[in-house]
Chains A and B, each alone.
Chain A
Amino acid sequence: MTKQRIQLLDNVFLTYVPADKFKTDFLSAQFITPLRAETAGLNALLPAVLQRGTAEYPDMQRLSAALDLLYGANVEHSVRKRGENQLWGFVATCVDDAFLPGGDQLLEPLTDILGQLICRPVLENGTLSPAYVASERTNLIDAIRSAINEKRTFASRRLLEEMCRGEAYGLSHIGDEASVAAITPEALTAHYHQAIAQSRLELYYCGRAEMQRVEDAFRAAFRDLPRCGGVPLAAAQPHPVRETPQVIREQMDVTQGKLCVGYSVDTDDKEAVVVMNTMFGATSNSKLFLNVREKLSLCYYASSTYHRAKNMITVASGIEFQNYQKALDEITAQLTAMQSGSWEDWELTAVRSSLSNGHRSIFDSASQLEDFYMGQIATGRDDDPEKLLEAALAVTPERIRAAANAVKLDTIYFLTGKEATNP
């Protein structure tokens, strides 16, 4: 498989990944721009408003009808945070021509719809439809408020907010309620013109079509895209080490407590941190899973995540309120075990197998590949999964241990019940 990346226009790139193992073609158009409090809400609202219709298909029903005719092609707006950049745009999929009766071709019309959504929105007297803006603003505010619904993700987000207060990484990728509520159709329209002209645009295709056909389709669909100047992407700043750890405790009417722990990692050997974190808590074979869950039966889930661009590790678990100290002690004990190099051979074998499986499997999913490449671009890297795997497999036990010793407690976040007493 040969991935290709070419420049289509000023600050517009196309990543092409040929693959004939999927039933569908996968397309994506993502604007990448620094994540900032002033613009996060605008960038989150914009694709939702644009998805309401285009000049040619001016409402949802007509747009959906057009997609239905393309054998249920699918277009979804998306907003992501990768490193300290915000990605907003659309992903689209359609059944590959090979599986259609009657020789229909879907790539060109679907790419065209993608281009329309970005370049030819519904305008009323030069302004994005005020009705669409108002309705999507309400929906976005509802989505921001609904962060409390899923306590597991809510607690992990609260930890990041508290840990990275003052850093772009601590911001929500969908903005905050007050700034979204203040967005007017005029302000969003002005932002729209600026964003589509100046932000980096990354296009992506994965499927059976030839490169030339894909390039032609994207060139045609984005022929009207204005381009002037360019906003550079943000280079993520490593999370600064906190001298005295902070403890945040919040109450809600819940039956299970959520304990989240954040650590800074003070090393440049990121490959070693990847391996260290995998052994510490990233798999069902990890120290956290085997001890906090399997040995002590304290939780159903306990896992850790490495935030590579920020050089941070976060741990998440769900526990009985009264087990706060016990769980925290055990998490700490497992980190200490990593620091003293106390693991068995099979643990390292398992970690290497798991990393190898994970990296190889990326090629079996068009959407995972898209997320991988977009993430690479947004964090200023240009590695392939194979290269990353090779680097991870070369990490020695000494480097793992050194990486563990660069880990330092930063923030503890505990979501507990209303009636629970202090842990």
Chain B
Amino acid sequence: MTERNYPQIGERVYEETLPNGLAIRVISKPHHAKACAFFVTRYGGMDLRFQLNGQWQDTPAGIAHYLEHKMFDTEDGNALQILAQNGAEPNAFTSNAITAYYFYSTEHFYENLKVLLQFVSVPYFTDESVEKEQGIIGQEIRMVEDTPDWQIYTNLMECLYEKSPARVSVAGTVESIRHITAQTLYDCHRAFYDPSNMVLCVVGNVDPQQVSAIAREVLPQTGGNPIPRDYGAEESSAPAKRERSQTMEVSMTQFLAGYKCDTPPDGVEQLRLGMIGDMACDILFGDSSPLYSRLYEQGLINDTFGGNFDVLPGVAYLYVGGDSNDPHAVHAAVTAEAQRLGQEGIDEDFYQRIRRAAYGQMIRSLNSFESIAISQAEGVFHGYDYYTFPEVFASITKADLEAFLRRNITAERTAISLITPKA
């Protein structure tokens, strides 16, 4: 394995790509009692249409998430239980772009790693077990349907996008998941759980050689080729729909506004644009921005107000939201402020302050094992080394931020989603 040191941020990484295509990253944390392993596939809620054996396949919404639930089943029982008996805290999640299986443990790390790699690489479904999960996932969907934060996000994505599967909820619907069978799950597993489409990230006080040896022992010797995927025809910069409002049992109106942004190419440019997007949020509406103070003092926002920049397969967007009695006024103020900053320029002192704060924030995120593992995995999938962020960050200029705001945060590119209280 190759050892890389990053003295500026106090990190050390061992990396390797196995003959089957699996990328391994071991991030050394010599003083922690816990260690974690994240086994991540580049397959998420948006991967609904893909080519398998030369045939285009359309799969039901929510299938990646459904598969995540069922992967824990093994011929002998359930991997969740085996890991838990070994003192591990196992879990998994499915996002738009990836599915991650992981565990944390303070003992029996290598045994647990073996179990993790085994159950994720060896599918075992029966029609009966797939059927049984309908009840559990059905209740998970019901739960999120009652969760305003989830609904407001799903509604925003439906407004922003016309063709991109970004508009489809990762969990699917109670209706869509009815069409999932053991066979569709096997097909999706074969397509996307190939070592060449996966990353193994381990964070903790572990021996990198042993991690590599276990991966070689458990996983298939050879890997496949990349699967062609279809994320829909190219989106225009305008949203599919300007506004969507839903009533729920909430105490006050919540809003989430989104701006369709230019999609970054893979490579280090994606890392750089992600940082520009995050910094643009700080400058535009972060806690120390003039806009935040003004809106807060006017009583238009409270401390729920905030937002972020997000890159998904084929699309990117910036969102901002919170509770407000006048969401449209806040929305208009955000757009106007972005254009003002884009035209008149960002105050130099303010910019320097935000730069410092943004750098501190990136260092701070290295406290989180999950954040480290996922950043590393995304770096592998998109062709950059995440830990080079200090140098990439240094290359960002004030003009980059002004250009980003001017171009992306416009009235033409935006939509708003609202959740209003029942009368």
Contacts and interface: CB of A to CB of B under 8 A. Distances in A.
Interface of A: 19-24, 59-61, 64-65, 67-74, 93-95, 98-99, 135, 138-139, 142-143, 145-152, 252-256, 283-285, 290, 293-294, 296-301, 318-320, 346, 349-350, 353-354, 356-358, 360-361, 363-364, 366
Contact of B133 (A70, A149, A297): A297
Given A142-B302, A284-B84, 10 more contacts: A72-B357, A142-B252, A146-B251, A151-B249, A255-B146, A284-B91, A294-B78, A357-B88, A361-B104, A366-B367
A148 B90 contact: no
A318 B293 contact: no
B361 A72 contact: yes
Contacts, number: 184
Contacts of A296: 135
B400 interface: no
Contact of A353 (B80, B84, B249, B293): B84
A214 B218 CA distance: 49
Q: Which of A99, A149, A255, A361 has the most CB of B within 10 A?
A: A149
Contacts of A94: 360
A125 B323 CA distance: 33
Contacts of A285: 80-81, 84-85
B293 A72 contact: no
B357 A253 contact: no
B175 to A, nearest CB: 13
Interface in B120-137: 132-137
A198 B299 CA distance: 33
Interface residues of B, number: 68
A68 B364 contact: no
A357 B107 contact: yes
A19 B361 CA distance: 20
B54 interface: no
Given A65-B288, A72-B356, A24 B143 contact: no
Nearest to A347: B85
A293 B136 contact: yes
Contacts of A357: 34, 87-89, 104-107
B112 to A, nearest CB: 10
B364 A23 contact: yes
10 contacts: A24-B364, A95-B363, A99-B8, A138-B299, A143-B302, A300-B140, A353-B84, A353-B86, A358-B89, A361-B33
B89 A20 contact: no
Contacts of A98: 10
A256 B302 CA distance: 29
A74 B151 CA distance: 30
A99 B287 contact: no
Contacts of B289: 61
A59 B290 CA distance: 11
Nearest to B294: A61
A142 B305 CA distance: 13
A356 B107 contact: yes
A378 to B, nearest CB: 25
Contacts of A253: 248-249, 422
Contacts of B290: 61
A361 B89 CA distance: 11
A299 B142 CA distance: 10
Nearest to B103: A357
Interface in B52-84: 78, 80-81, 84
B366 A145 contact: no
Contact of A99 (B10, B134, B252, B323): B10
Interface string B338-357: 00000000000000011011
B359 interface: yes
Given A23-B366, A297-B132, A361-B104, A67 B288 contact: yes
B391 interface: no
Nearest to B84: A285
A300 B143 contact: yes
Contacts of B90: 284
